[in-house]
């Protein structure tokens, strides 16, 4: 699993030569696999998320992380309670 993520990241420019969004999808799949398998990548991800929260929102949404859904649920609850 750990080798599959970086391999997909390296292969993505080659796949990007094919018409369509294939290279981007392969790159994102590689990043997702790397984040799941590597503690170092997770630490870098958390650091980047703290520095750029808006990018963290989109990456959490794309990775379908539980924290993203928790934040959405809390936002809805606050909006319903009138806070």
Instruction: Parse the chain into domains and list their residue ranges.
Output: 1-48, 52-83
Question: What is the per-residue pLDDT across 11-62, written as a single tens digit (0 to 9) for each?
Answer: 999 888 888 888 888 988 898 888 888 899 889 988 988 898 877 777 777 7
Specify the DSSP class assigned to residue 82: T
pLDDT band at residue 69 under the 50/70/90 scheme: confident
Q: How many Cβ atoms sit within 10 Å of the Cβ of residue 83?
A: 6
Please tell me the predicted confidence (pLDDT) of residue 43: 92
Please tell me the predicted confidence (pLDDT) of residue 40: 92
Please tell me the predicted confidence (pLDDT) of residue 22: 85
Question: 34: exposed, middle or buried (C-beta count within 10 Å: 0-12, 13-18, 19+)?
Answer: buried
Please tell me the predicted confidence (pLDDT) of residue 83: 62
């Amino acid at each position: 699993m750990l080798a599959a993520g970086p391999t997909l990241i390296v292969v993505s420019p080659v796949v990007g030569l094919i018409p369509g969004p294939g290279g981007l999808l392969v790159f994102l799949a590689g990043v997702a696999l790397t984040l799941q398998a590597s503690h170092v990548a997770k630490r870098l991800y958390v650091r980047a998320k703290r520095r750029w929260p808006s990018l963290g929102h989109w990456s959490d949404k794309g990775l379908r992380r539980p924290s993203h859904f928790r934040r959405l649920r809390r936002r809805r609850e606050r909006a319903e309670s009138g806070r």
